[in-house]
Structure 1
Amino acid sequence: MANNETYRSLDDLQVFQAVADTGGFRAAARALGQSPSGVSETITQLEARLGVALFNRTTRSVMLTEAGRQLATRIGPLLADTRAALDEAASSRALVRGRLRLNVPAAVMVDILPPILDRFMNRHPEVHVDLIVEDRLVDITRADCDAGIRYGEHLEQDVIAVPIGPERQQAGVAAGPSYWARRGIPTHPSQLMDHDCIRTRLAGAALFPWEFEQGAETLVLDPPARLSVTSGGAAAAIDLAIAGHGVIYIFRNWLDPHFATGSLVPALADWWPGYDGPRLYFSSRLVAPPLRALVDMLAQDRRAGDG
């Protein structure tokens, strides 16, 4: 029978949500800073109090039962709101405290997000920043995150999205001098179909197409890949392009430092496409003070840039 004893511990529900989000006791323990045995014991006690199994356990996996899925769906938003309310209570106008947990793609970790976080953490030393780096679009509430950063995906109507970093970016084509000397620099994107290409993709997803535009003309290519790598290995892919193993198509801001040194040589620059930069997205329901402080700083940055 449900009673106050059943719901006595918000911490137990936080542990349950962590296991549900990460899919395992060890991963949840790492996220929570606890021992796997402690997490397992908490779940066992919670299941005993509820009188129902929340997870099906095997030697290889931990899966939510139907009762567990229903509980996770209901309590995810409640836990996020509770944490935000506690952070707000702990903060004052003069000092922001609490946790800022962001789900971000690897692409922004190279040169976009670090300087932003540097300024933010210097401004708000009492905020603990927790970064979850992955490339799939997630439900930030279910993932116990305050906000996410993504490029151009469709977002729900109740989600707010604001620019973070450059409002516009560009993709570029490049190869090492030794490669161009050996194979020749193309004069039209279609000629890339006859080159060794270094391609990137999201984990478990198709290779990113190579898109080009010049005036009103657009072109989308699926060139042969001599090497393909997930987005987390982009730095190694650039190194291999520098070493002369093929042509790479990737963020121009990642290529510019190598153009400056001559270790990479651009090609087809008048065909490079532009696109919207990354956006910080978050629920409009309740914005915790650490996230509000980040959003306010980004707005200040944009106003300073406009000035």
Structure 2
Amino acid sequence: MNNDLQDLFAFHAVVQAGGFREGARASGKSASSLSDAVRRAEARLGVRLLNRTTRSVAPTEAGARLLERLVPALAEVQAALDVVNGFRERPSGTLKLNVPLSAARLVLPGILTPFLKAFPEIKVEVIVEESFVDILAAGCDAGIRYDERLEQDMIAVPIGPRRQRFATAAAPAYLDIHGRPTHPRELLDHACLRGQFSSGLMPAWAFERDGEVVQVEPTGPLKVRIGGAVDLAVDAAVQGLGVIHLFEDWLEPYLASGALEPVLEPWWQTFSGPFLYYPGRRHLPAALKAFVGFVREGSG
């Protein structure tokens, strides 16, 4: 790969990671080599591509315009180079996955280790992010999301459990004091532990029984960012602070031990499981192709 192209890859890596040090960690190169590459690209093009401060870097208007055309082009270059990888005896390369925390916790543990043992020359990077992202623009090969959040032009492959439920639960001590709800609307009189996306959206709690669907938006003493802070809400529920509404598989250890007691179980809503999604390409990167085949085989 000539220096011009390497420098453009370096520029993309820095912007994608949000800094030279972060880009170095993500790309496996040194921060100084990335800085030199960006300077070379700027000198060659005759424009500044990045605004640099002591705390961050951001693309200039020229850099942003370049990125708009560069991201899909670099993806095609990488795909073209990866075609050669298909002639290797065993596939290699790095697979970058963008997934929500629920998938990282409940879906991937049973898949990644056997996959990496089966394909020892492949490396996997997992980026945990709750919001839906353009996986190509984010520098990822594939993502995991639920069907209501998939783009229509993506190829979707079932991954993990095909049916899941949201469970509602609270500590027995809390329920002994505040009572046990018999209808979802009674949760409006309870202390409920809510989750909120980074966008500010706070999803309602949905329930269903005998064709009746009920959505409630209860309040309570604790609200956490959906993602890394969810375990804080689980711990608070176990300690008797209030009622929690979360994936049944996530709460199962606490339900099994008795630390949490099911609430409104006949109303727990079932929904379809997640999908591995990726752009339709004629030539998939070897690592992604191997992973898709492994997932298909496991779900077959």
Q: TM-score when scaled to structure 2?
A: 0.93
Task: Report deviation, 1:251.
Answer: 0.3
SS in 2 for 1:290: helix
Give the match for residue 288 of structure 1: 285
- 8 Å contact from structure 1 (residues 198, 237) kept in 2: yes
List alignment gaps of at least 5 residues for structure 1. 1-6
SS in 1 for 2:124: strand
Among 240, 244, 253, the alignment partner of 2:249 is: 253
Q: TM-score when scaled to structure 1?
A: 0.91
The change in CA–CA distance for 1:15 and 1:225 in structure 2 (over 3 A counts) is farther
Among 100, 125, 128, the alignment partner of 2:123 is: 128
CA–CA separation in structure 1 for the residues paired with 2:211 and 2:126: 40
Among 171, 176, 180, the alignment partner of 1:181 is: 176
The change in CA–CA distance for 1:239 and 1:154 in structure 2 (over 3 A counts) is closer
CA–CA separation in structure 1 for the residues paired with 2:155 and 2:233: 34
My pick for the range that moved more, 22-31 or 189-198, is 22-31
The change in CA–CA distance for 1:206 and 1:100 in structure 2 (over 3 A counts) is same
Give the match for residue 300 of structure 1: 297
- 8 Å contact from structure 2 (residues 167, 247) kept in 1: yes
Give the match for residue 7 of structure 2: 12
RMSD: 1.9
- 8 Å contact from structure 1 (residues 87, 99) kept in 2: no
Q: 1:25-64 maps to which residues of 2 (within 5 A)? A: 25-64=20-59
- 8 Å contact from structure 1 (residues 20, 72) kept in 2: no
Give the match for residue 276 of structure 1: 272
Give the match for residue 239 of structure 1: 235
- 8 Å contact from structure 2 (residues 132, 149) kept in 1: no
Q: Paired residues, what number?
A: 298
- 8 Å contact from structure 1 (residues 91, 289) kept in 2: yes
Identity %: 45
The change in CA–CA distance for 1:299 and 1:93 in structure 2 (over 3 A counts) is farther
- 8 Å contact from structure 2 (residues 4, 41) kept in 1: no
Give the match for residue 3 of structure 1: none
My pick for the range that moved more, 45-54 or 147-156, is 147-156
Q: Does 1:203 align with 2:198?
A: yes
Give the match for residue 114 of structure 2: 119
